[in-house]
Structure 1
């Protein structure tokens, strides 16, 4: 009991905000717990040293040097600099676009199945050259047939398209295409239109195949400039990103790859699409807060934004 009282009194000595009544109460408890002359005295418990108490300085006036492990770091930057001394730093570069194979996309318009159309194409002797250059045959996410053509035969893709259309007649429609990616063109002035951006891209990029409808999402930024989203073939986008800049009017604009995570609009999650989603269906929920839409929230949203539907 005496040892605990000593610890309590030592704590009072180091505390700044302790009233006199509290200190007097501790002293009174100590006086009560003192042993009488008749009772055998117990061994005195040594006074506990408080860690916050400052150690006495040496008598010769010299201060004790701090130990190496007790020195505090100045900042996180200094710690990182000391830890990376002698180490080699490598600069992180953006992901490099690789050339994608050209493809022929076959979408059926009749009652014949894709297996029957493939048997017909294989038996046609005029398509033997196409068969020697086909790299892979697979289905797309929309369920249409896709024939990947080798890179060395990319110049013959228009000829292969016309041969497929002649062989299939009215059974299916054929179009060319490869993987398409989105590029962001930033730094456009307020007077720039989508048609002006399209004409400048065609004039400054030689051999660029782009349609006016491929330029979408022209929107205004806070600083008064505009940014546009341009959808291009992956093979066409490589030289555009390599050049990097475009002069539109009096402005020098910059092209960057628009990288967005894959999102499922069924469960509102990331990393997969709705075709392969097995999670909870949240299609009637808000994309931002995932709150389920009700008739009241729909009316409020329509009243606030009459041109947009929730």
Structure 2
């Protein structure tokens, strides 16, 4: 996705279901889902490896999908056991969970390669070359945001780190939060069909005024959500649903 098309924190978003680690077993030619499933169940004992199997089902392609919960070490043991069990009857591959991060406060001169090189210098990350990195357009303050998609294990480490030095700047890095947003009132935590709040469906998402929409808005940002929820003395000089929005942070469970 190009930088100009990348959804911002204020985009319409839906909660995703809790994801599990999973393995795919692809049956060999002339082998069926039932055959492979029977072989693995008769050969592999998850309890011996402290693996909890959350579900087993057949994919559209006739593969065996095994969802599980376990430590990294246990998953590796389970993978080896599955591979040994199916042997010539199929192939085993692990589905690696992906996650997303935002890197903020980049200066206008920063490019993708500079972000990647900064990540490569950090210890403990895996497969940095496979990170997907996109940069936003410069803001009116001549700063950029880098949007990163990577393995979940890397995202957790970077989120704990909190900051990363890119160029001259110590940039804030954090995992992207996903929250349901209502297009009727522009609020969070519900959808339009159950909305009982003020109808803002014809109002600008950026400033809250009627007569235009956010792509053509020339007004200053005004967070009517913070103003209504926290009072007129609260800071409202930001776009509703941006990372400066306290109402958005409240629904994400972020400490103020």
Please report the TM-score for the alignment, with normalisation by the length of structure 2: 0.50
Higher helix share: 1
Please report the TM-score for the alignment, with normalisation by the length of structure 1: 0.42
Higher strand share: 2
The one of the two structures with greater contact order (alpha-carbon pairs below 8 A, sep at least 6) is 2
